[in-house]
Amino acid sequence: MARRYDSKTTIFSPEGRLYQVEYAMEAIGHAGTCLGILAKDGIVLAAEKRNTNKLLDDVFLSDKIYKIDEDMACCVAGITSDANVLTNELRAIAQRHTLQFGEPIPCEQLIMRLCDIKQAYTQTGGKRPFGVSILYMGWDNRHGYQLYQSDPSGNYSGWKATCIGNSSTAAVSILKQEYKVGETDLHEALLLALKVMSKTLDMTKLNAEKLELATLVRKAEHTEIIVKPVEEVKKLIKEHEEREAAAEASKQDKSTPSTSKPKA
């Protein structure tokens, strides 16, 4: 019976599973969707906002997207308080590296360090794992634009496009079909993100208030990480809807050819 093996993180089940880690990933599966797309000339992170109460005071522009370093930002899915602890640690790791080496930390090293910390919580101490998956976007002078994902088990991997949170598997399969390696530029990536969001979110129409969009671009030896203001998101949604309408219209045209063809 699985029950006997889930109470402690530090023990395996007879089938060789770590239940606490799996339950953490389950928790993330109920959290707001985040997706990331690597374009030729930049990276896009899109997130579904869950806390949209009118009474909420908007001190922070974003509650899912965090800037970690001058060249890196991340998007979190899962328990927000756990996410705060991890982003704080990410920022500290980045600055400690700069203190020691005088240069910004390369993206992968930062993620490796955090994942080592996350892994420790699955092996020692009797504490539960962090209930957060994180999508990282960053630039460094070695590998250029990079997109990574890490999960509560402490595993991480590099991606061209991926999704975490609610309906992430559906989103990933759409991305698999739609994402064109080496041909997607930043604007296309933004529209693709909107497309995937609209298909996977539980909403009939995309709402700019419920979405967060952030981009990372390298301009003139300097990295720009911008969380798009609501007005711009509205514009992009409009463009996306126009495209969808045009695609629908052309599909309609194609689906009624036989009546116009002359019979032999």
From 53, 100, 252, 255, residue interacting with another protein (rule: CB under 8 A) = 100
* Identity of the residue, 89 or 108, whose beta carbon is nearer to another protein in the bound complex: 108
Residue 123 contacts another protein per CB under 8 A: no
List Cβ neighbours of 261 (8 Å cut-off, separation of 6 or more).
none
Residue 116 contacts another protein per CB under 8 A: no
Residue 70 contacts another protein per CB under 8 A: no
The Cα–Cα gap between 122 and 20 comes to 8
Residue 3 contacts another protein per CB under 8 A: no
From 102, 126, 182, 257, residue interacting with another protein (rule: CB under 8 A) = 102
Residue 143 contacts another protein per CB under 8 A: yes
From 6, 22, 108, 241, residue interacting with another protein (rule: CB under 8 A) = 108
* Identity of the residue, 116 or 185, whose beta carbon is nearer to another protein in the bound complex: 116
Nearest Cα to Cα of residue 204 among 248, 241, 235: 241
Alpha helices in 132-254 (DSSP H): 168-178, 186-200, 230-254
Number of residues that bind another protein (CB under 8 A): 13
Sign of the alpha-carbon torsion through 22, 24, 26, 32: negative
Q: How far is CA 75 from the centre of its chain?
A: 5
The Cα–Cα gap between 86 and 104 comes to 19
Q: Residue 139, Cβ neighbours under 10 Å: how many?
A: 23
Residue 109 contacts another protein per CB under 8 A: yes
**Residue the block writes with tokens 């092996």:** 123
From 88, 141, 173, 250, residue interacting with another protein (rule: CB under 8 A) = 141
Residue 181 contacts another protein per CB under 8 A: no
Interacting span for another protein (CB under 8 A) from 16-24, 135-143, 164-172, 193-201: 135-143
DSSP string, 112-130: HHHHHHHHHTTTSTTPPPP
Task: Provide, rounded to whole angstroms, the least separation between the CB of residue 186 and another protein.
Answer: 22
From 3, 54, 142, 263, residue interacting with another protein (rule: CB under 8 A) = 142
The Cα–Cα gap between 213 and 229 comes to 8
* Identity of the residue, 12 or 101, whose beta carbon is nearer to another protein in the bound complex: 101
**Residue the block writes with tokens 């990331």:** 36
Residue 155 contacts another protein per CB under 8 A: no
The Cα–Cα gap between 115 and 100 comes to 20
Task: Provide, rounded to whole angstroms, the least separation between the CB of residue 100 and another protein.
Answer: 5
Q: Binding residues for another protein, per CB under 8 A?
A: 99-103, 106, 108-109, 141-143, 146, 158
